[in-house]
């Protein structure tokens, strides 16, 4: 009995006590490295960004003279927004116009074109390069080159349209209020149809070949294969494109400046109103309008994201 208890005591004495390991301290040089690497990103990405946001909110909610708190600029922008023919009202209509046209007409066409690229129709590689090329050119060049086609003095398409009996407005298709925005849509369509097709094709090519082979073995036709199998499998890229088309209406600036004269053609967009306001020193007016557009954009983005999260299948392959 004694020998057993002695043995236990000895065992306890020789057992290494369990000590909680000390937290591994990071060397000073690593801390300095992290400090150096993160200094500018934190200063710029957070401090400067927060300063800009705070400054914008201050401008939005200031009085008429920008000296104190008030609702002058916001209420002015809100009262403009509810008027159908005001600049802010027109910009809001254009947000929805772009979103509807490019989502409900553009995306279906791009999906069909991509499907044929996936099926490797003749000269697919050449098409893909040519379709993508214009997006790598300066927007000044693409807008100018497109504009020449419809110029009232030199445009070959304008001349052809006149010969075919079309009634071209005196001030030109881009400058007439009745056709200006339509021409901007045509321009965006012309430019982005190909590049968006290339993007969707990239996504389609990632759909496993085994899935498509089994679909074909089951005797599915091309439309069935596209609508019931391919489209659900590429829904992540489609949701991203849908969302970016919703946001595109907010960011039309270059097209408006380079293709039209907003004062003449009565075409206004969010980016044009906000940027031109700020560029010409009307900071508070631009910020007030920015508030209205932000109030529209946030729920629009949230709603779109919620819709896709709720109704699109969770795809993994």
- Residues 43-102 within binding reach of other proteins (CB under 8 A): 44-46, 49, 51-53, 55-56, 59-60
Residue 210 contacts other proteins per CB under 8 A: no
Question: Whole-angstrom Cα distance, residue 188 to residue 205?
Answer: 25
Among 104, 166, 190, 307, binds other proteins (CB under 8 A): 190
Residue 283 contacts other proteins per CB under 8 A: yes
3-state DSSP assignment of residue 69: strand
Measured CA to CA in angstroms, residue 204 lies from 18, 112, 121, 124, 128 at distances of 57, 11, 14, 14, 14
Among 6, 133, 178, 224, binds other proteins (CB under 8 A): 133
Select 71 or 159, whichever has its Cβ closest to other proteins. 159
Beta-bridge partners for 62 = 69
Site for other proteins, residues 169 to 188, rule: CB under 8 A: none
Residue 207 contacts other proteins per CB under 8 A: yes
Site for other proteins, residues 232 to 251, rule: CB under 8 A: 233-237, 240, 247, 250
Residue 105 contacts other proteins per CB under 8 A: no
Residue 278 contacts other proteins per CB under 8 A: yes
Select 95 or 267, whichever has its Cβ closest to other proteins. 95
Site for other proteins, residues 27 to 46, rule: CB under 8 A: 29-30, 33-34, 37-38, 40-42, 44-46
Select 7 or 130, whichever has its Cβ closest to other proteins. 130
CA 90 to chain CA mean position, Å: 21
Question: Whole-angstrom Cα distance, residue 60 to residue 292?
Answer: 10
Among 72, 148, 185, 229, binds other proteins (CB under 8 A): 148
Residue 227 contacts other proteins per CB under 8 A: no
DSSP class per residue in 102-125:
IIIIIHHHHHHHHHHHHTT-TTHH
Residue 161 contacts other proteins per CB under 8 A: no
**Number of other residues whose CB lies within 10 A of the CB of residue 61:** 17
Check: CB of residue 251 under 8 Å from CB of residue 101. no
Stretches 98-106, 153-161, 166-174, 176-184: which one binds other proteins (CB under 8 A)?
153-161
The stretches of the chain forming alpha helices (DSSP H) are 2-14, 28-42, 49-60, 72-81, 87-101, 107-118, 124-132, 139-149, 156-163, 180-204, 209-217, 222-224, 231-233, 235-248, 254-259, 262-265, 270-279, 283-311
- Smallest gap from Cβ 309 to other proteins, in A, equals 13
């Amino acid at each position: 009995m004694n020998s057993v208890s002695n043995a236990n005591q000895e065992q306890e004495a020789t057992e290494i006590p369990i000590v909680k390991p000390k937290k591994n301290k990071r060397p000073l040089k690593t801390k300095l490295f992290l400090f150096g690497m993160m200094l500018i990103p934190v200063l710029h990405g957070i401090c400067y960004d927060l300063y800009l946001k705070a400054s914008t909110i201050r401008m939005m909610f200031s009085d008429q003279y920008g000296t104190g708190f008030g609702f002058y600029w916001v209420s002015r922008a809100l009262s403009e927004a509810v008027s159908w023919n005001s600049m802010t009202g027109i910009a809001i209509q254009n947000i929805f116009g772009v979103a509807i046209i490019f989502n409900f007409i553009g995306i279906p066409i791009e999906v069909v074109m991509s499907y044929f690229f996936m099926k490797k129709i003749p000269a697919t590689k050449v098409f893909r390069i040519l379709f993508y090329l214009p997006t790598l050119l300066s927007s000044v060049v693409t807008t100018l080159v497109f504009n020449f086609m419809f110029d009232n003095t030199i445009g070959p398409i304008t001349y052809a349209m006149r010969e075919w009996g079309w009634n071209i407005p005196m001030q030109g298709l881009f400058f007439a209020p009745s056709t200006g925005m339509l021409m901007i849509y045509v321009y965006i369509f012309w430019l982005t149809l190909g590049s968006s097709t290339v993007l969707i094709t990239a996504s389609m090519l990632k759909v496993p070949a085994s899935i498509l082979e089994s679909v074909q073995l089951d005797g599915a036709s091309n439309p069935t294969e596209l609508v019931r199998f391919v489209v659900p499998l590429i829904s992540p890229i489609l949701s991203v494109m849908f969302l970016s088309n919703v946001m595109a209406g907010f960011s039309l600036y270059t097209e408006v400046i380079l293709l039209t004269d907003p004062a003449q053609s009565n075409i206004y967009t969010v980016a044009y109103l906000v940027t031109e306001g700020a560029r010409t020193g009307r900071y508070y007016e631009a910020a007030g309008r920015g508030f209205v557009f932000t109030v529209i954009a946030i729920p629009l983005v949230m709603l779109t994201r919620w819709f896709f999260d709720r109704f699109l299948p969770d795809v993994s392959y």
